[in-house]
Structure 1
């Protein structure tokens, strides 16, 4: 933690900044997994919608 003191004796505490890094483009395996998860999510939401439509 970085601390400074001004002329009146007031302390200011500053958090240490994390080291920055750049995001990496997902691999083909990760892209396929995202595609599969999206398809499952669409099927799940569609089934909930159809069940709600059938019940009402």
Structure 2
């Protein structure tokens, strides 16, 4: 387990912080994929709600 050393030589048992980095914005291809996956999710959810609605009215 990694320890950090504070001022005065005391050991600290807390986790080390991960390195922070800047995320790259999505490109055109990734944006298109997000739209496709979002549309598929909406269609799937709509289908499940429709089936549940008709099944509850039987």
State the TM-score bracket (shorter-chain normalisation). Answer: 0.7 to 0.9
Q: Give the structure 2 partner of residue 48 of structure 1.
A: 48
Kept after mapping to 2: 8 A contact 1:3/1:14: no
What's the offset of the Cα at 1:15? 2.6
Which residue in the other structure is 2:4 paired with?
2
Q: How many residues were matched structurally?
A: 51
How far 1:13 moved relative to its partner? 2.5
Q: 1:13/1:3 Cα in 2 relative to 1: closer, same or farther (>3 Å)? A: farther
Give 1:23 deviation, angstroms.
1.2
Root-mean-square deviation (CA), in Å? 1.5
Structure 1, unaligned runs of 5 or more: 6-10
Displaced runs of 4 or more, over 6 A: none
> Normalised by the size of structure 2, how large is the TM-score?
0.73
